[in-house]
Every structure is written in C-alpha cells, then in structure tokens.
Amino acid sequence: MTKRALITGSSTGIGFEYARYLSNKGWDLDLISQHKSRSMESKKKLSCEKAQFHIFDLGKKDSINSIINNFETPDLIVANAGIAINGAIGDIKQDEKEYYYYLMCGGVIDLIEGFIPKILHKKNGRIVIISSIGAKVSMPKSSLYSSIKAGIYAYGKSISTELKNQNISVTVSLPGYVKTEAHERAGLDHLLKKVPNWMWVTPEQVVMETEKASLKGKLEIIPGKVYKIVKPFLNLKIAVSIWKMITKRN
Ligand SMILES: NC(=O)c1ccc[n+]([C@@H]2O[C@H](COP(=O)([O-])OP(=O)(O)OC[C@H]3O[C@@H](n4cnc5c(N)ncnc54)[C@H](OP(=O)(O)O)[C@@H]3O)[C@@H](O)[C@H]2O)c1
C-alpha cells in the first residue's frame, strides 16, 4: 500500500528536498507552505502527480485545526516549516514572539497531537521534527529562535520515549548551517559570506541523514560530518567562543 507523508514548509529548502526524496520513492504527499506563488513554483519543479499542494499560514491555530480535521492521516509527518529569526534580546515585539512560537513550537505540538490518536489507531507511523543545532548551543542575537527550537526538541525527545513501545518513531533533526533561502529571507545573508564553507550542509544531506535516522527509530540526528565531530564539545566555553568568532555573533 502506498505511504502518505505530510510535509510542512515544502516549497523550498529542507522541506522541498524531503518532498523530492519521498516522491522518488513513490509516496503520496500532502505538501504545505504559505505563499501560493512559491508553492506553484515548487509544484513545477517537483512534477509529481501524487503530490497535493496546500496553502496555510502555520503560525495560526485555525490552519492547524483545518489540517487535522480535513487531511488524511499520514504515515509520516515531517514538521519542518520555519524561519530564521534575527533579533537581540528585547528587540522582537510581543505579537511576533507569539507568532514565531506557535509556528515552530506550539503549532507543531498541536499538529502532532491532533494526528496522534489516528496514528495510534493505525498502530504504525513516523514523526520527524526539524529543530536546529541552536537547541543545543548558545545563539546570541537569535535567543528566541534558539529557545523555540529547544522547546520543540524537548517535546520531541519526550514523546519519542513515550511512544517507543507503540510502533511510532519520533526523530528530531538538529541541523547546523544549511544552504537554503532561510538566511536571505531573514536578512541574514551576510552569514552566507561569513560562515566558512565547511560549516554548511546541503538540504539533500539533511534529508538523507534524517530519513535514515527516522527509519532506524533514532531519537535525534545532527546531520553533517563536521557537526558530528563537534557535538561532544558544543557546550564548552571555548567551542562557544570559536562559534561566535566564526559566525561573527557577538
Ligand atoms: N537553513 C538552515 O541553516 C537551518 C538550520 C537549522 C534548522 N533549520 C530549520 O529548517 C526548517 C526549514 O528551513 P529551510 O532552511 O529549509 O528554509 P526555507 O528554504 O526558507 O523554507 C522554509 C519553508 O517553510 C515555509 N514556511 C515558513 N513560514 C511559514 C508559515 N507561516 N506557514 C506555512 N509555511 C511556512 C516556507 O513556505 P513559503 O515559501 O510559502 O514561505 C518554506 O516552504 C526550519 O524549521 C528551520 O528553522 C534551518
């Protein structure tokens, strides 16, 4: 029987590559993004008859409710939609903070919890959450982003353990710098020049490693060789200083 995946944030970057990867394997896809024109562009690029393209603002509760109530129960949820957030402490307005929190944390929890009873009923399923290495390291001037990604990482880890014996795997992916449109869209394009090449991972690499980890039922994955090497040192003072120097975050 054909498997069905629901991917959020599928128009570009990691979400698009996830859609491409699964479409090549014959999956049925429900692909969600926010902007119609970008969604249409991705539809042309993907050229997959088994994919349905949907437009929702996932920073809004109504969108999540509508997806839960109207979509077929997926065999795989890839909770990926998100944006980079640039802002020093106190710089981000209250309504923006709440919106970002819902988009990348609260809304992801609502989406997963909306589908969980139906997935449990099917007695089989996988959930992939795209968090960030920012959940584990200090990110000055991106503290809100870091806290949101840490929140959804903690949630994913906990439900992964909770659902372990019910044939449902939950994997949290924690990528470092990935070459997508995210930085440019957040006005962080200077990072594309300042962060050295060896620190960048491709979206294809993120998808390949994340999907492999999910199929093995692993709780978390940090894609890319370089990040695997530095993983044990991430919270050492010296590592944080080097990270700040390389990425020019002061
Ligand atoms: N790039 C990195 O270095 C990096 C590192 C670690 C983690 N991540 C995480 O990876 C995920 C994917 O990011 P990316 O790098 O692939 O960025 P991207 O290329 O900019 O793609 C972001 C996707 O999310 C969708 N999206 C954003 N806001 C949305 C909203 N309110 N409602 C519905 N869809 C929305 C976008 O849709 P539209 O095109 O319609 O706006 C787009 O499809 C994010 O959660 C990000 O935090 C990225």
CATH code where residue 100 lies: 3.40.50.720
Tell me how far apart the alpha carbons of residues 193 and 106 are, in angstroms, rounded to a whole number.
Answer: 33
> pLDDT by residue (tens digit) across 124-164?
999 999 999 999 988 888 999 999 999 999 999 999 999 99
Q: Whose CA is nearest to atom 27 of ligand 1?
A: 82
Q: What is the domain extent for residue 160?
A: 4-247
Q: Ligand 1: which of 34, 128, 133 to mutate, most ligand atoms within 8 Å of CB? A: 34
User: 35 CA to middle of ligand 1, Å?
Assistant: 12
User: 130 CA to middle of ligand 1, Å?
Assistant: 10
Tokens of 54: 């949907």
Tell me how far apart the alpha carbons of residues 50 and 47 are, in angstroms, rounded to a whole number.
Answer: 9
> pLDDT by residue (tens digit) across 179-220?
999 999 988 888 888 888 888 999 999 999 999 999 999 999
User: 83 CA to middle of ligand 1, Å?
Assistant: 5
pLDDT for residue 250 is more than 70: no
Q: Ligand 1: which of 130, 136, 220, 247 to mutate, most ligand atoms within 8 Å of CB? A: 130
Phi/psi at 127 (nearest 5 deg)? -130, 130
State the total domains in the chain: 1
Count of alpha carbons within 13 angstroms of residue 77, beta-carbon side: 28
> pLDDT by residue (tens digit) across 78-118?
999 999 998 999 999 999 999 999 999 999 999 999 999 99
Q: Whose CA is nearest to atom 41 of ligand 1?
A: 34
User: 12 CA to middle of ligand 1, Å?
Assistant: 7
Find the helix or strand (DSSP H, E) in which 36 lies: helix 36-46
